[in-house]
Amino acid sequence: MNAMPSAGPAAASAKAPYFSVRNIHAYYGESYIVQGVSFDMAEGDVVALLGRNGAGKTSTLRTLARATDPELKSGEIWLNGAALHKMRDFEAAKHGVQLVQEDRRIIPGLTVEENLQLAQIAEPKGWPLERIYERFPRLAERRHQEGVTLSGGEQQMLAVARALARDLKLLLLDEPYEGLAPVIVEEIERIVAEIKQMGITTIIVEQNAVAALQLANRALILHMGEIVFDGSAQAVLDDAELRNEYLAI
């Protein structure tokens, strides 16, 4: 192995990060909420996005997924060369950005299977249903049941399964353990850990910061719409003062 690494100008210039958020500002009407957030992620990074209630975590995720509310007024969002900041939510989803919201957004009147099929109406598709049912046997058992009648934990599984049913390049999870019994939390944790193993770039917002930090390799702390910490997850676990100042733990 004596081949020399190539060392032209192209090799010297830094490779563009897989996901790059550059100075984004977003508003709900007149309310200025996301106040100049910037960070980069390498492919396969798992970032815990933390901060106190009202810090702007949900608003940041919604901005990244290109929801209309809050409205992105300036800044850039790049995923694998795609300019997300120029897109609407459905276009960002086609480019692989899948937001699993806290309320899970299961569509009433549709069965589990129909919820999954609906996710696959638009190309490009992700996992085929057989693969989803193999990984989520509870969903397979309940495929003909109306999605909104599932338990909270099962609905969370369906919401994650729906993201996997689409082309998934960036998974945005907003409080996936919220309101779930500990045994179900463990089950969802195993699923998220598998998603990490698959190398899917993920941002996880979680009130239970310790659980999120144990899963993540990196952490961002938001405070009043701004990033006040960007570093390793371990650094936050090790820094009680930092946690005390910006987190409720």
Ligand X SMILES: Nc1ncnc2c1ncn2[C@@H]1O[C@H](COP(=O)(O)OP(=O)(O)OP(=O)(O)O)[C@@H](O)[C@H]1O
Rule CB under 6 A: is residue 90 a binding residue for ligand X? no
Contact status: 211 vs ligand X (CB under 6 A): no
Name which of 58 and 201 has its Cβ closer to Mg ion.
Answer: 58
Residue among 54 and 124 whose Cβ is closer to Mg ion: 54
> To the nearest whole angstrom, how small is the minimum distance from the Cβ of residue 56 to Mg ion?
8
Contacted entry of Mg ion, ligand X, none for residue 55, CB cut-off 5 to 8 Å set by kind: ligand X
Q: Where in 54-83 is the site for ligand X (CB under 6 A)?
A: 54-59, 69
Closer by beta carbon to Mg ion, 154 or else 175: 175
The residue among 56 and 153 lying less far from Mg ion, judged by its C-beta, is 56
Which DSSP state fits 181?
-
Binding flags for ligand X, 37-56, as an x/- string (CB under 6 A):
--------------x-xxxx
Nearest to 93 by CA among 127, 71, 118, 65: 65
Which residue lies nearer to Mg ion by CB, 132 or 171? Answer: 171
Question: Which residues, including other chains, have CB under 8 Å from residue 203's CB and lie 6 or more apart?
Answer: 41, 46, 47, 49, 61, 64, 170, 171, 172, 173
Q: How far apart are CA 21 and CA 14, in angstroms?
A: 16
Q: Which does 33 bind (CB under 5 to 8 A by kind): Mg ion, ligand X, none?
A: ligand X
Nearest to 82 by CA among 95, 65, 64: 95
* Cis ω before 124 (30° cut-off from 0): yes
Q: Choose among ligand X, Mg ion, none what residue 90 binds, the Cβ cut-off being 5 to 8 Å by kind.
A: none
Q: How far apart are CA 48 and CA 207, in angstroms?
A: 10
Q: How many Å separate Cα 164 from the centre of its chain?
A: 12
- Residue 93 CB, shortest distance to Mg ion, in Å, is 20
Q: How far apart are CA 72 and CA 225, in angstroms?
A: 13
| Residues within the interface to Mg ion (CB under 5 A) | 57-58
25 binds ligand X (CB under 6 A): no
Q: Which of 53/197 has CB closer to ligand X?
A: 53
How far is it, in rounded angstroms, from Cα 20 to Cα 1?
A: 34
Binding residues for ligand X (CB under 6 A): 28, 31, 33, 51, 53-59, 69
